[in-house]
Amino acid sequence: MSPPPSSLVVLPLLLPLLLAAVSHATANAAGAGAPPPVPTPWPEQFHAVVFTNLTESGGRLQLIDLYYDWPRGRNLNLIRDQLSSDPLYDVEWTNGTSYFFDSGSCRTMRFPVGILPPDWLAAGAVYLGREHVDGFDCHLWTKVDFVWYYEEVATGRPVRWNFFNGMQQHVMSFEVGGVLEDSKWQAPPRCFSGGNADTANAAADGVHGEEAGSVDVMDSMIRFAVAPAAAVAASFDQ
């Protein structure tokens, strides 16, 4: 089984896309009349149930409980693969450490970036107009051809997002302020026992320059997007 995709691999490919998108956005602004709508920032804490379709990226279906907890600097994906009885946890800390574990295995990964900030979509997003998706009237933004984000026009709730890697996520419930008790965030002892702990380093060499702030958000998005696939890889590693 190959190791999980890392930002090391993806980052060099993204820089040209990023620059292209910035010039595209500038061109749009010049010719536009009314300013495009602005994406609603994420609430600082929420719990979402996300139906995930990995068919296009060679995977299956997943049901993910996503707990986003910005004030405490953490994000958790509780991933249930279809017809699997052993859920996978992906606990992401803003200091860059992620723990992927199920009942028998653990993999630790270190990323050079934290979790997504609530306004991650705002900078550099290109508005693509309104679209009817999953039965909802939505605004659609894309960020540097990396993510397509659908937000319900009437409520500002996220409805769906699709990633460059083919992953499609449908938001089934969205509970603002939903938090998970502290004990559930704790990685199990096997993550810390030298013999079993498998540490993969996803540190990127860094892409610096004027767009450094945006690039950090891009890195965080990569971290966010690879989580379900990486967690699947972790489960095969035992």
* Chain residues that interact with ligand NAG, rule: CB under 6 A: 53, 55-56, 61, 93, 95, 97, 168
CA distance 54 to 162: 10
Cβ distance to ligand NAG smaller for residue 28 or 95: 95
Q: Report the nearest approach of ligand NAG to the CB of residue 38 (Å).
A: 29
Cβ distance to ligand NAG smaller for residue 40 or 168: 168
Q: Give start and end residues of each alpha helix (H) in the chain.
A: 7-31, 212-235
Q: In 10 A of CB 9, how many CB atoms?
A: 13
Q: Report the nearest approach of ligand NAG to the CB of residue 186 (Å).
A: 9
The candidate with the shortest Cα–Cα distance to 53, out of 127, 174, 134, 126, is 134
> How do strand 106-110 and strand 147-152 relate by DSSP bridges?
unpaired
- β partners of residue 198: 107
Q: Report the nearest approach of ligand NAG to the CB of residue 95 (Å).
A: 4
Q: Report the nearest approach of ligand NAG to the CB of residue 59 (Å).
A: 10
CA distance 172 to 175: 10
Cβ distance to ligand NAG smaller for residue 99 or 124: 99
Cβ distance to ligand NAG smaller for residue 168 or 196: 168
Question: Are the CB atoms for 29 and 162 separated by under 8 Å?
Answer: no
Q: Report the nearest approach of ligand NAG to the CB of residue 228 (Å).
A: 14
Query: Helix-strand-coil percent breakdown of the chain, rounded to 5?
Result: 25, 35, 40
CA distance 101 to 190: 9
CA distance 147 to 163: 5
Q: Report the nearest approach of ligand NAG to the CB of residue 168 (Å).
A: 6
Cβ distance to ligand NAG smaller for residue 39 or 158: 158
The candidate with the shortest Cα–Cα distance to 158, out of 8, 23, 46, is 46
Cβ distance to ligand NAG smaller for residue 27 or 192: 192
